Amino acid sequence: MDIPRIFNITESAHRIHNPLTPEKLAILGAALRLEPGTRLLDLGSGSGEMLCTWARDYGIIGTGIDMSQLFTEQAKLRAEELGVADKVKFIHGDATGYVADEKVDVAACIGATWIGGGVAGTIDLLAQSLRTGGIILIGEPYWRQLPPTEDVAKSCLANSISDFLMLPQLLESFGNLGYDVVEMVLADQDSWDRYEAAKWLTMRRWLEANPDDEFAKDVRVKLTSEPVRYAAYTREYLGWGVFALMLRL
Ligand code: SAH
């Protein structure tokens, strides 16, 4: 079981597989006022940077589940490296339908809301693992500017304009699901660059190391086209943020 190979290539050197920098990730942890011993669940935990650094900096404990074997392996190594292997656990597996045995204080899905079939479904899934009064974290794109055409949306790698909302509408949609938005940390264009531009050097190095790989042609095409596509479309039109939600009283 694994994710499509292209992600394991282009994001192999990423610690954070989303457009937040380490600083913004730390700001989010601080914003949530996490107490030592807070229990977290992270569906689609990637290379585990959120759980590992928050365990180190804020004393949280937690579990992450991710379908990439490579990222899960990297998460376990990172936990060792930061001295938090006794606080965080990483499971390689499909998080679809995953519900924790013991309720958690914070249930997160950061940049992987297809796991629950979209934002609403993912909130429902996370809610099943959440203690009363706990916090749900959702990492999700939104339109900074509405694409003028469906082609522009496709060039942002969305299927359609309707895949995402503008920021006020996204916040409103959480309210419509019965949740208060209690915090948020947003990416900006520079932090998007850290996520996207970092893939280019990784692809270039991978091509040098794997010239005869059957995937080399695809990676070459991507490396050639990505910087311009990203600058013209994603960087201009797409925003991204993590939203902290609590069920309305
Ligand atoms: N939350 C992490 C990773 C975001 S990238 C971070 O912000 O750094 C999306 C992640 O979802 C990838 O790590 C990918 O391997 C994982 N993923 C995709 N489908 C999944 C599934 N069905 N179950 C668990 N993880 C999945």
% residues pLDDT > 70 (the chain): 100
Q: What share of the chain is helix, strand, coil (3-state, %, to 5)?
A: 45, 20, 30
| Mutation test residue for ligand 1: of 21, 45, 109, the one with most atoms within 8 Å of CB | 45
Task: Dump pLDDT digits (tens) for 31-58.
Answer: 999 999 999 999 999 999 999 999 999 9
Task: Using the mean position of ligand 1's atoms as its centre, give its distance from the Cα of residue 7 in Å.
Answer: 10
| Residues 43, 59: Cα–Cα separation, whole Å | 19
Task: Using the mean position of ligand 1's atoms as its centre, give its distance from the Cα of residue 249 in Å.
Answer: 31
| Residues 155, 66: Cα–Cα separation, whole Å | 27
Rounded mean pLDDT of 152-166? 98
| Mutation test residue for ligand 1: of 7, 17, 21, the one with most atoms within 8 Å of CB | 17
Whole-number mean pLDDT of the chain?
98
Instruction: Please give the angle made by the CA atoms of 25, 112 and 108, to the nearest 5 degrees.
Output: 55
Find out whether the beta carbon of 67 lies less than 6 Å from any atom of ligand 1.
yes
- DSSP secondary structure of 182-196: EEEEE--HHHHHHHH
What's residue 114's pLDDT? Answer: 98
Find out whether the beta carbon of 68 lies less than 6 Å from any atom of ligand 1.
yes
Global pTM value: 0.97
Find out whether the beta carbon of 122 lies less than 6 Å from any atom of ligand 1.
no
* pLDDT band (50, 70, 90) for residue 8: very high
| Residues 126, 107: Cα–Cα separation, whole Å | 6
Task: Dump pLDDT digits (tens) for 189-231.
Answer: 999 999 999 999 999 999 999 999 999 999 999 999 999 999 9
Find out whether the beta carbon of 95 lies less than 6 Å from any atom of ligand 1.
yes
Find out whether the beta carbon of 53 lies less than 6 Å from any atom of ligand 1.
no
